Amino acid sequence: MTVAVFTFVLLLANTLKEILVLLINRQATLGGVAEAILYLIPWVLTFALPMGMLTAALLVFGRFSADQELTAVRASGVSLVALITPILVLSLLLCGVSALVNMEVGPRCRMAYKALLERMKGQLIGTALPEGRFVRVDAKASDTGTGYGSYLIYVERNDGHALKGIYIYGLDRNKTGQERFNAQIVAPRGEIQVASNQTTLVLYECHIAHSDGTNWGTSYSGRSDIELTGKSADETAQKPGIDNMTFRQLRAELRDTDALVGRPEFVSPLEVPRFLMVDKIKELRDQRHDFTTPIRVQLHTQVALSFACFGFTLVGIPLGIRAHRRETNIGLVIAIALAATYYSLVITGQSLSRHAELYPYLIVWLPNFLFQAVGAVLLWRVNRGL
């Protein structure tokens, strides 16, 4: 029941924020709203399952303790450990369910939900470049310099059309057919413009490095347009941002990115100020940038959140026993406070994904270690006090 309540609340919050506006503007039908809600259910279960287990543990054991039933059970020869073992086993089983949802079902449903919203808005999802990952797109001959080639584009922030932190690497093939980097473009901001089936990436204040195969030259442009081949919604839907990738997709993305940045001719943004010999470009990045760290953070977050059910249950049982309260509202307040603490620590780790030196992919594990350690100590103290 508690899982159903939290699922309903989280669904309502997302529906009011994104879908209700479309419904009022007659951009969405009731059938579309129902479809969107179905897509959202697996995603909100990531948060509803742990919070439901925590609330249930607080309410059940709080009433159990307040009615002196725990004393009666102990007098019958049943230990606290034997009493809570089935609940802990259930929480571990729910961790397996959470892992399936977090690492596979949830991301796929989230992407389907976003695609549905874009269709309701009447926009082309193909006009958006995913955040935090390299995307290979075709370019015209006039852009790459030596025949038809392609670009590897990396965007740090994308709100739909406005882009921030853009890194572009031009690729072509030499006479032997081997692919090589022949250009690099760095721009602090840009936008996507769409006309008919043609997509144009417009870059502002961009610094350009280009190679003739032997030497590199540099230039600056207040504006640079790159014409990209048109992409359909279905094609681009297969290229989600890292926040919406499954675990297997993240593993593949990490492997491909490692292979890319490991190439000897790859010039990373860390080397750009020296490479381009332009002081202004130093303003583009004031923090260390690592292309792989955001992917690692998302990988670890998916796995770490899967263990939330166990940590929440381990903390909820002794807190419920020590609270000695029958009131439901007290249990809900404690549950919300603990959940807020847990997810705040996870968000803190995610917010540090641009600081590779702080190992943010390990920070997202801190809430699990903290809750499980505190829960184990509290259970030990409660068991001794009974």
Q: What is the pTM for the complete model shown?
A: 0.70
The range of the structural domain enclosing residue 104 comes to: 2-122+293-385
Which pLDDT band, with edges at 50, 70 and 90, does 326 fall under? low
Which pLDDT band, with edges at 50, 70 and 90, does 324 fall under? low
Which string of DSSP letters, residue by residue, matches 181-196? EEEEEEEEEEEEEEET
CB distance 181 to 211 below 8 Å: yes
Could you tell me if 26 and 62 lie in one domain? yes
How many domains does the structure of the chain reveal?
2
Give the pLDDT score at 93. 93
Could you tell me if 209 and 236 lie in one domain? yes
Q: In this predicted model, what pLDDT tens digit does every residue of 79-135 receive, in sequence order?
A: 788 888 899 999 999 999 999 999 999 888 888 888 777 776 654 444 457 787 788
Do the domain assignments include residue 368? yes
Give the pLDDT score at 24. 66
Give the pLDDT score at 291. 78
Could you tell me if 112 and 170 lie in one domain? no
Do the domain assignments include residue 302? yes
Do the domain assignments include residue 253? no
CB distance 54 to 343 below 8 Å: no
Bigger pLDDT: 268 vs 137: 137
Could you tell me if 113 and 239 lie in one domain? no
Could you tell me if 31 and 101 lie in one domain? yes
Residue 318, pLDDT > 60, answer yes
Do the domain assignments include residue 190? yes
Could you tell me if 161 and 93 lie in one domain? no
Average pLDDT (359-385) is 88
Give the pLDDT score at 369. 93
The 10 Å CB-count burial string (b at 16+, else e) for 332-350 is bebbeebbeebbebbeebb
Bigger pLDDT: 275 vs 252: 252
Could you tell me if 101 and 165 lie in one domain? no
Which secondary structure element, helix H or strand E, spans residue 134, and what is its range?
strand 134-139
Do the domain assignments include residue 127? no
Could you tell me if 304 and 356 lie in one domain? yes
Residue 232, pLDDT > 50, answer no
Could you tell me if 327 and 239 lie in one domain? no
Do the domain assignments include residue 26? yes
Q: Mean pLDDT, the chain, as a whole number? A: 76
Do the domain assignments include residue 250? no
Could you tell me if 318 and 267 lie in one domain? no
